[in-house]
Amino acid sequence: MVSKVLKTLKVSERRACRVLEQTRTTQRHNSHIKGEEERLVTRTIELATRYGRYGYRRITALLKQEGWKVNHQESRENVEFSNDSVRKVQEITKEERAYEKEVSRSCSGSTS
């Protein structure tokens, strides 16, 4: 909105923000998640999915072993963020394993 006012009225950013009752910091704020961080979040989710019982500290250690520069707070946020999706994936894999066991039992039982 401020950028439209800047272009159409050709006024300063400070004046446009004052008229729209916005702080200038909201206009200068860049999105926190960038390419590197997106890959980090993706990798954290992958590890949390693979090692479902690991906590954020262990996942942080795994990420550091892989060469990521990450602190435990960041890892904790990502693990907490991904907990719902991880749980869903784990439930699906449990169901798949149960189905595979059931199928293998029925196949081995019928051939005997």
State pLDDT tens for residues 72-111. Answer: 787 777 777 666 555 665 566 667 777 777 777 777 765 5
* Helical spans, DSSP H, in 1-112: 2-9, 13-20, 24-28, 35-50, 56-65, 72-111
Angle at 17 (CA atoms; ends 21, 2), nearest 5 degrees: 110
State pLDDT tens for residues 46-67. Answer: 888 788 778 888 988 999 999 9
Counting every residue, how long is the chain? 112
Mean pLDDT value across residues 25-32: 68
Question: How is the chain split into domains, by residue range?
Answer: 1-30, 36-111
